[in-house]
Amino acid sequence: MGSKNGTGTIAVNSAQIKNTKAELDKAFLNENANPSVWVDDSSLEIMNSTYGSFKEATENISAAIVGFNQYLDSMATAFEKKDTELAFDIQDLQIKNSFSQKRYDKNSAYNDSKYRSLPGAE
């Protein structure tokens, strides 16, 4: 769903999140699937029974898959929307450089052993 993109942040691939139901249907609810294609020995009867039970169970949870798919689609859409909004909000953002050479030199002087050895430096 997400991957590190080399910058220490996680990138969300919304296209990968969407249409989960279609992928599940393709993987598990193939109407033309026939266990005899996979095996041709004495395990065929058990395989047919198992596949039939599995197919019945997957049909029973179809509503859950549809709901889950709708949730993931809305989540991916929300990610896309927030990403677009964030990109728009920060497009003109400028970070003020807080480094000050003058302050650095002053702090370096205060911490220098020669300065500290002067009378009244402390």
Give a yes or no: residue 66 inside a domain.
yes
| pLDDT higher than threshold 80 for residue 53 | yes
pLDDT value of position 16: 66
- Report which of 24, 16, 30 is spatially closest to residue 72, judged by C-alpha positions: 16
d(CA 47, CA 25): 20
Q: Does the predicted TM-score (pTM) go above 0.85?
A: no
Give a yes or no: residue 121 inside a domain.
no
Tell me the CA distances in angstroms from 16 to 13, 74, 102, one per residue in order: 5, 13, 51
- Full domain range(s) for residue 63: 2-116
Number of domains observed in the structure of the chain: 1
Give a yes or no: residue 105 inside a domain.
yes
pLDDT value of position 81: 93
